[in-house]
Structure 1
Amino acid sequence: MNPTGRPRTWFRRLPVVTRLVLAVAITMSLVLAGTAGLVYWRVRTALDQQLNDDLTTYRRSLDHAVRTGAQLPPGPSGSLQQVLDAHGRVLHSSDAVRHQLLLTPAELGAVTRGATLRCDIGSLLPITADTLRLQAKRVTADGQPRIVIAAVRRGHRDEALRELLAQLALASGLTLVAASYVGYRTARAALRPVERYRGGAATLADGTQNLRLDVPGDRDDEITRLGHTLNHMLDRLEASAERERRFVADASHELRTPLTVMRAELDVALHRPRSAGELTETLRSVDTEVQHLIDLSNALLDLEELGSTDHVTRAPVRLADLVDTAVAPHLRPAERAGRDLTVEAADTTVDVDARWLRPAIGNLVDNALRHGHGNVHLTATVQGSRLRLRITDTGPGFPPEFLPRAFDRFARAEASRTSEGSGLGLAFVHAVATAHGGTAYAENTGQGTAVTLDLPC
């Protein structure tokens, strides 16, 4: 008993090719049997019709001769005749049957009561000698009832039907074998790419890198589409593995420095007795590094989550509210630094993922306040179906050689390597833009730096 409640049959355990061949063979057997049966029935009907017509004509001539008292006429080649009285006694009979009654008592009774009887003696298979088809009818001669029996031999008809059966069996057998062979070859050819894909997957399981299945480019059938789907899955797996390797490499690279600083501070503190003030200073330094680790870990996790998300969840949101909420935490730090932070946002509704776009705007503002100089201005406009966020400052700008990699992870201009920050802010902005189907780019305007976020809304 199958634990799932569904019975397992031997058929389900067979290989797919075997099941397909069996299905073709069974279907062809049914079709061939039906076709052969139809042909046999049509031919037998035609032969029986001809035989019955000849037999009816012969019996009518015998009926006429018995009624008129004339001599019984000869019938077709191989025909027989017999005349009985009402009690079943033979009054006249062909030499081939002599006094042998051609009717059974039941058949004789039926004809005596007025029925016209037609029946066969002998069978088609197995082969028997002296097969006959006869007709019997009651007639009246000189006021007395007579039973007139006309019979013809079925040898030629039976031989023709047996030959037909043999030819149909041979033709059906050959057709079935040919159809099964073609079905087998077709199934093997159709499933050969699947076996090749299976071999490729086994190779991938063994640790092979950058594996792609060889999918024909000139076909578009189910197997080809399966190959494209598997290649797409391999692309996703490789991208996922690359993201994992990159995450581990980035984390190990960036976490090493704060951990080393913390270990050095603690080693110095434990090396000799320290005053309360020195211990407090050491703990403040360790606390700073711990906070840096927390910020770095959160940034890495956000980037990993955003990179592994297939699509963003868009929802209508007022652009002005979105920008004001993102900028609000930075107003006081800007004021303390003596810098103006101004915002110009269109009063319209955009269809974006506010969960990701809000921190991206915050990163742009934070990056401008941290690494730029002078006033910071943020504009948010909508043109057609595109949202354009642009933030500018009046600082010295990016070094020209840094611009092409400004959005790379942990990329920092030389002048900012000793400043605070992890180098993940612009990388996060670029990831958010990409997830929305947009772009992010940085440029030097001659009066400072401009970073633009352009995405569909």
Structure 2
Amino acid sequence: MNPRGLRARLRRLPVVTRLVLAVAVTMSLVLTGAAGLVYWRVKTALDQQLNDDLTTYQHSLDHAVRAEAPLPPGPSGSLQQVLDEQGRVLRSSDALRHRLLLTTAELDAVARGATVRRDVGSLLPITSDTLRLQAKRVAADRQTRIVVAAVRRGHRDEALRELLAQLAFASALTLIAASYVGYRTARAALRPVERYRSGAATLADGAPNTRLDVPAERDDEITRLGHTLNHMLDRLEAAAERERRFVADASHELRTPLTLMRAELDVALHRPRSAGELIETLRSVDTEVQRLIVLSNALLDLEELGSTGHITRSPARLADLVETAVAPYVRTAERTGRVLSVQASDTVVDADARWLVPGIGNMLDNALRHGTGTVRLTAAAHEGRLRLCVTDEGPGFPTEFLPRAFDRFTRAEASRTSEGSGLGLAFVHAVAAAHGGTAHAENTGHGSAVTLDLPC
């Protein structure tokens, strides 16, 4: 089978099945290795004992052949055979009679002085007359004799077969037990994951305020995953709520100027109008169009600023940035009889002037539009932080408005009849977030203050 195809099929299996397969394969390798080691040690010990018995018997036969004495009896079931150099049987056990135990090649090897040892019969399948023989050349009365000693392997083979059966049985039981334990452990470990999946599916089906049931007394990987998912659900629910509120507020803000434009046009078309009346109608429509343009540009700027990829920091003199931001509002302050006070340190900061300048402008516009008295702007950089603060001497923000002062389309006046779109401070907050800083609004006791704190 193609290895890639096998891996692909394994990846399609459930996680529990893959874990059980991994445990089973690993345990099979371990048990096979352990069984092989035990079998080798026992076989080595039995073979050593059998070889010692065979060597002892061989020595007694060699001594008897040299002394031309009767061949001594060996271990139970042992066999012996004495041959001349041509392979003729001179003496042999009754069970062998004239049947040679050695092959022609083995006779030649022993005749040249080699010692031959080999097994007759196999462990599996079971065969009769299993032997281990050893043949050596012996000099007797100036003649060369080949002495063959053989002992039966029946007890040794039976012990090894019994050992194999016991090892196979124990390994099978161990593998089944390990697989079962692995299955139960994997199911227990993944049960919370399945519970989390079911909870997430419920949320996906539209169930509100769904949260995962995470044990508070645990602190393992699965529990931390549950806390992370709950935090993600909180963020998603908050984002969905902000989206619903944004759509509702944007619809309201767009509906007002469009309704006014429609009303002006209906009145103009209802009956003939003089040139002066038509010009007045067009001016009113133009005002609402300008309001729509400003609102659309503000929304587009907020969406563009929401991506940090649009922030390009570069060194710039803080005094120049502040001067550029303040310039459009000097005449506005003069027309309303307000004082605009500016205090900026002459230092270089690392910021995106494209967004920072209109951010400062929105802070000033908010103070001039909704505050009273002197508007003060202070800008200073210290220890890598840029702090911009705009204060006024007005009544300040309503207490209930402060927590949502930087939300989109929020205004201190609930009727929404005042000037402005409710996006100015939202833009200030977006500038702060894009630069990795913060925006803060508060009441000072003598008016309101909006502060922008950025790393520079």
TM-score of the superposed pair, with normalisation by structure 2 = 0.88
> 2: CA distance between counterparts of 1:402 and 1:156?
96
**Which residue in 2 is equivalent to 1:23?**
22
Structure 1 residue 369 displacement after superposition: 2.5
User: Gaps spanning 5+ residues in structure 2: where?
Assistant: none
Identify which of 436, 453, 456 aligns with 2:451. 453
Structure 1 residue 397 displacement after superposition: 2.5
Is the contact made by 1:398 and 1:413 (CA closer than 8 Å) also made in structure 2?
A: no
| Change in 2 beyond 3 A, CA 1:88/1:115 | same
**Which stretch of the first structure deviates more once superposed, 77-86 or 56-65?**
77-86
| Change in 2 beyond 3 A, CA 1:79/1:295 | same
- Answer yes or no: is 1:275 the counterpart of 2:236: no
Structure 1 residue 340 displacement after superposition: 3.5
**Which residue in 1 is equivalent to 2:87?**
88
Is the contact made by 2:315 and 2:348 (CA closer than 8 Å) also made in structure 1?
A: yes
> 2: CA distance between counterparts of 1:332 and 1:44?
105
**Which residue in 2 is equivalent to 1:205?**
204
Is the contact made by 1:397 and 1:444 (CA closer than 8 Å) also made in structure 2?
A: no
**Which residue in 1 is equivalent to 2:152?**
153
| Change in 2 beyond 3 A, CA 1:403/1:415 | closer
- Answer yes or no: is 1:429 the counterpart of 2:443: no
Is the contact made by 1:63 and 1:148 (CA closer than 8 Å) also made in structure 2?
A: yes
Task: Give the match's secondary structure for 2:95.
Answer: coil
After superposition, where does 1:57-456 map in structure 2 within 5 Å? Answer: 57-303=56-302, 316-382=315-381, 384=383, 386-394=385-393, 396-398=394-396, 404=402, 407=405, 409-412=408-411, 418-433=417-432, 436-443=436-443, 445-446=445-446, 449-456=447-454
In the TM superposition, what whole-angstrom CA distance separates every residue of 1:416-447 from its partner, at most 9, and x where no partner exists? 9654222332343345456644342242544x
In the TM superposition, what whole-angstrom CA distance separates every residue of 1:165-208 from its partner, at most 9, and x where no partner exists? 11111111111111111221222222222222222222222112
| Change in 2 beyond 3 A, CA 1:439/1:155 | same
Is the contact made by 2:66 and 2:141 (CA closer than 8 Å) also made in structure 1?
A: yes
| Change in 2 beyond 3 A, CA 1:411/1:59 | closer
In the TM superposition, what whole-angstrom CA distance separates every residue of 1:355-380 from its partner, at most 9, and x where no partner exists? 44322211121123333444433222
Is the contact made by 2:117 and 2:134 (CA closer than 8 Å) also made in structure 1?
A: yes
Structure 1 residue 413 displacement after superposition: 5.1
> 2: CA distance between counterparts of 1:66 and 1:406?
115
Task: Give the match's secondary structure for 2:48.
Answer: helix
Is the contact made by 2:363 and 2:450 (CA closer than 8 Å) also made in structure 1?
A: no
Structure 1 residue 160 displacement after superposition: 1.1
In the TM superposition, what whole-angstrom CA distance separates every residue of 1:231-288 from its partner, at most 9, and x where no partner exists? 3433333233222211101111222221211111011001001111111110110010
| Change in 2 beyond 3 A, CA 1:413/1:199 | closer
> 2: CA distance between counterparts of 1:397 and 1:427?
21
TM-score of the superposed pair, with normalisation by structure 1 = 0.88
The aligned amino acid for 1:275 is S
Task: Give the match's secondary structure for 1:95.
Answer: coil
Is the contact made by 1:85 and 1:145 (CA closer than 8 Å) also made in structure 2?
A: yes
| Change in 2 beyond 3 A, CA 1:102/1:345 | same
The aligned amino acid for 2:395 is G
The aligned amino acid for 2:199 is G
> 2: CA distance between counterparts of 1:14 and 1:400?
60
Is the contact made by 2:396 and 2:448 (CA closer than 8 Å) also made in structure 1?
A: no
**Which residue in 2 is equivalent to 1:54?**
53
> 1: CA distance between counterparts of 2:19 and 2:43?
35
Is the contact made by 1:320 and 1:347 (CA closer than 8 Å) also made in structure 2?
A: yes
Q: How many residues align?
A: 452
Is the contact made by 2:246 and 2:409 (CA closer than 8 Å) also made in structure 1?
A: no
> 1: CA distance between counterparts of 2:151 and 2:397?
116
> 2: CA distance between counterparts of 1:32 and 1:138?
45
Task: Give the match's secondary structure for 2:247.
Answer: helix
